[in-house]
Amino acid sequence: MFARIAIAAFFALLLGLLPGAARADGVELAQLTTRRVDDGLELSFTTRFELGRLAEDALHKGVPLYFVAEAQVLRNRWYWRDARIATVDRTWRLAWQSLTRQYRISNGGLHQSFATLDEALSVIRGISNWHIAEPKDIEDGGSYYLEFSYKLDVTQLPRPMQIGLQSGFALSIEQKRNFAPDFTLR
């Protein structure tokens, strides 16, 4: 009898039915569009998410958070595996600067500071006109699709946090979209 209750409680905990179970904060993809321009293909996206309490606490204790957006353009082929046309990624580093009491976002060589966390997250939540493919790689008669993912990269957290707190930091979304030769998403 006790064994059945223990097993039922274990599975309920795994499924998130009991209070105290770790629940991942999700990312909602509000907008994802592609546009063909003279110099290739551009991607614009907007996400909606809130940082979990664990992630925000770690940020305020000096642990930087890394957000990664990845996009792959692939061409459908009936006779072989789909051809990978382009693969791009962009990484944002969000850090709390305790001396200046500001949030700092780094993206490559660009650094910006913000007074509030909401202002900083608004920059990380989306991008416009991101160049993802060259015009020479895209044929007008082909059938293409886009694989897109956006996540809080937990692999860049300090090792002890990766082991025990990973579920409190989970933020990710993956999307696969087809688009026609004129590059409007369906």
Per-residue model confidence as pLDDT tens digits over 125-145: 999 999 999 988 887 777 888
In this prediction, residue 21 has a pLDDT band, given cuts at 50, 70 and 90, of very low
Lowest mean pLDDT among 34-38, 83-87, 172-176: 172-176
Q: What is the pTM of this model?
A: 0.76
Closest CA to 28 of 172, 132, 147, 127: 172
